Amino acid sequence: MSAWAGVAVAVTLGGYALVSARLSRTIVSGPMIFVAAGLVLGPLGLGLLTLGKDAEPVTVLFEATLALVLFTDALSVQSKALRRDDFLPIRLLAVGLPLTIALGWLFAWLLLPGLNIWEMALLGAILAPTDAALGQSAISNPGVPAVVRQGLNVESGLNDGMSLPFFVLFLAAAAGHESAQGPGEAFFRALVVSAVLGVAVGWGAAIALRWSAAVGWVEGQWRHILVIATAMAAYGLAVVTEGSGFIAAWVAGLVFGTVLRSATDTPRSAAADPQQDLRDTAGLAEDLGGLLVAVSFVAFGAVLLDPALQHLSWRIVVYAIASLTVVRVLPVVVALVRSGLRRPTVAYIGWFGPRGLASIVLGLITLEEHIPGVETVSAVIAVTVGISVYAHGATSVPLAARYAAWWSRMSASQPGREGAAVRNRDKRPRFGFRGHPAELPSVSAEQ
C-alpha cells in the first residue's frame, strides 16, 4: 500500500472520529463512509489500492481483524444466561442459521447456473453470518425491547463462528483435487483439532490470568495485551496445524470468558473478580477490533467491491437482493413460529441481518483457493455486502425509531413476549459484539 493510500485512510478515520457522535443519529453510518472511501481509492477512482498490488497486506488485515473480532465476540457470551433466558438467539442459531445456508444454496442453484453444487453451498455458508455493526441503531436504541436487542446481538456474535465448519467443509469439497486435504480431513482439522487447540489456549490463558491477578503480579495494561495475545496464539496454532485459525480463536474466546466468570472456592483479591477481569482485559481488544474493522471496510470497498462493480450482471444483483431479503427473512419466520413474538417484531428481526466482515474474509479466503467459480462467488459476496452496508446502514436509525414507537404503544396494554423480563441484566454499557456497547448478561453468584 502506498504512502498516499495510508494518508487517505488515516484522514478518513480521523474525519469520521470527529463527527461520529453526530452521524450516529443520522442515516449515515461509519461503514457507509469507509466503503465509499475505499471506492474512491480503488481502481474506479484514484487507483491507490488494488488487490493485485496489495493482496498480501489486505489479506493479513482481514484475517487478523476477523480472528480478533471472533475472539472478543465469543468472550462476551455467557452460556448459562443464554440457556436460561434467551430463547430468541437459540431459535435464530439452531433453526434459522441452517435454513439460511440451505436457502442460500437453493437460490444460487436458481440464479447462478455457472456454479457447481459445492460452490453454491459455499456461497450460502459465506453469506449466512450477520454483522450487527452495519445496523448499530437496531440494537442500541433503548426503545427497542431488550429481548430483541439482545437476541440480534448474540446472534451476530455467534453465527459467524457457527458457520465456519460448514464453510470449511464446502470449501474443501469445492476445491476437490486442487486441495491438499480431502473434505473429511479438512473438516476434522478445522472442527476437532482447531477446537481442541482453542479450548487449551483459552483455558490456559484464563487460568494464568486469574492466578497472576490473585497474587498481584499482573499490571492493568498487560491484561489488555493478554487478550490480544491469546487470540493470536489460538489462531496461529491452528494455522500451523493446518486447521482453522478462526474456529480456534472463536472457541478460545468462549472458554477464556467462561473460565474468568466461573465461581471458585479459593480466595482472590478484588482485582481478580471475574466480571472485573473481563471489563479490564477486553478494552484494548475491543478498541483495536473497531479500528481494524473500519480499515477493513475501506479495503473492502477498494479491492473487492470496486472490481465487482465493473462486472455486474442481473443475476448477481438479484441474488444479492434475495440474500438480504428472502434468504434472511424466511428462516427467521420459520425459527420464530410459536415464539409469541408479534409480526412487527419478526419483521424487524428478519430485516436486520446485515452481511459484513465475516462474509468479506471468507470470500477472500475462497478467492485464494482458485476454485472454478471463484470470480462469480467473489462478485456475489462483494455486491451483497456492499448493498447491505448501505441498505441496513440507512434504515437502522429510522426503522429502530419507528419500531420503538410501536413497541411503546403496545407495551402499555399488551407487553407480549417482547416484554419478557430478562433476568440478571447489567444496565451499564459494556463491551459488545463488533466493538459496540450492548446490554449483556451480568454475572451473579448463582452463575
What are the tens digits of pLDDT across the range 191-214?
788 889 999 999 999 899 888 888
Contact between residue 121 and residue 377 where contact means Cβ atoms under 8 Å apart = no
Buried b (16+ CB within 10 A) or exposed e, 387-414: bbbbbbbbbbbebbeebbeebeebeeee
Structural contact between residues 128 and 160, judged by C-beta atoms closer than 8 angstroms? no
Cα 112 from Cα 319, distance rounded (Å)? 8
Mean pLDDT of 7-12: 90
Mean per-residue pLDDT of the chain: 81
Q: What is the pLDDT of residue 330?
A: 97
Q: Which of 113-127, 254-268, 371-385 has the lowest mean pLDDT?
A: 254-268
Q: Which of 84, 169, 89, 44 is nearest to 438 (CA)?
A: 89
Amino acid symbol at 301: G
Which of the two residues, 32 and 420, has the higher pLDDT score? 32
Alpha-carbon distances of 421 from 87, 147, 343, 441, rounded to whole Å = 12, 8, 20, 12
Model-wide pTM > 0.85? no
More confident residue, 264 or 184: 184
Percent of the chain with pLDDT over 90: 36
Rounded-to-integer distance, Cα 146 and Cα 419, Å = 8
Lowest mean pLDDT among 130-139, 233-242, 313-322, 376-385: 130-139
Average pLDDT, integer, range 50-55: 65
Sign of the alpha-carbon torsion through 114, 116, 117, 121: negative
Average pLDDT for 272-295: 68
Q: Name residue 441's beta-bridge partners.
A: 425
Q: State pLDDT tens for residues 372-423.
A: 888 899 999 999 999 999 999 999 999 999 999 998 888 777 766 676 644 4
The residue assigned the cell 442459521 is 97
Alpha helices in 215-273 (DSSP H): 220-240, 245-261
Among 47-51, 153-157, 413-417, 436-440, which stretch is predicted with the lowest mean pLDDT?
Answer: 436-440
Instruction: Give the range among 124-133, 143-152, 284-293, 297-306 with minimum mean pLDDT.
Output: 284-293
Cα within 13 Å of Cα(430), Cβ side: 24
Q: What is the pLDDT of residue 440?
A: 33
Residue 286 confidence class, pLDDT cut points 50, 70, 90 = confident
According to DSSP, the residues that pair with 430 across neighbouring strands are 438
Q: How many residues does the chain have?
A: 447
* Contacts of range 401-407, beta carbons closer than 8 Å, 24 or more positions apart: 401/141, 401/143, 403/143, 403/144, 403/344, 403/345, 403/348, 404/141, 404/142, 404/143, 404/144, 405/143, 406/344, 407/143, 407/144, 407/145
Which comes out higher in pLDDT, residue 57 or 41? Answer: 41
pLDDT tens per residue, range 309-341: 888 899 999 999 999 999 999 999 999 998 888
CB atoms within 10 A of CB 318: 14
Give DSSP secondary structure letters for 330-393.
HHHHHHTTTS---HHHHHHHHH-----HHHHHHHHHHHHHT-TTHHHHHHHHHHHHHHHHHHHH
Assess contact for 243 and 189: CB atoms under 8 A: yes
Of the candidates 153, 26, 152, 149, which has an alpha carbon nearest to the alpha carbon of residue 407? 149
Weakest-pLDDT range from 12-21, 73-82, 247-256: 73-82
d(CA 296, CA 141): 26
Query: In degrees rounded to 5, what are phi and psi of residue 383?
Result: -70, -40
Query: In this predicted model, which residue has the larger pLDDT, 430 or 210?
Result: 210
Q: What pLDDT score does 432 carry?
A: 36
pLDDT of amino acid 223: 80
Cell of 153: 446481538
Per-residue DSSP letter, 443: P
pLDDT of 117 strictly over 80: yes
- pLDDT the model gives residue 444: 32
Q: Given pLDDT bands bounded at 50, 70 and 90, which one contains residue 278?
A: low
Report whether pLDDT(85) > 50. Answer: no
Question: What pLDDT score does 409 carry?
Answer: 87
381 vs 76, residue with greater confidence: 381
Q: Which pLDDT value is given to residue 436?
A: 41
